[in-house]
Amino acid sequence: MANVTVEQQIPNGLEVFLTAPMPLDEDLRVISEADGQLAAGQQVAQARLVAPRKSTLWQNGSWVLETLVYVPADYVRGESAPFALWTSGKHSPIPKYASEAVQAHRKGKEFYVPKTDFEAILAQARADANKPAAEREVLLDGRVDSFEVGVSKLTADQLMQFMFRSDVSAYARRLDEFKITSVPVYLAGAEYINSQKQPFALALWLLDAYGGSGLNGFRGLNYGGRARGVRRVAPIGAAPNLYEIVAREYGLSPETLRTLLDAASAVKKQ
**Across the strands, what pairs with 8?**
16
The secondary structure of residue 261, as a DSSP letter, is: H
No. of helices (H) and no. of strands (E), the chain: 11, 12
Beta bridge partners of 6: 17
pLDDT of residue 251: 57
Q: Which of 110, 187, 113 is nearest to 144 (CA)?
A: 187
Does residue 63 surpass a pLDDT of 80?
Answer: yes
DSSP letter for each residue of 21-32: SB-HHHHHHHHH
CB 240 within 8 A of CB 257: no
Please state the pTM of the whole predicted model.
0.88
Mean pLDDT of 205-212: 98
Residue by residue, what is the 3-state secondary structure of 90-123?
Answer: HHCHHHHCHHHHHHHHHCCCCEECCHHHHHHHHH
Mean pLDDT, residues 156-177: 97
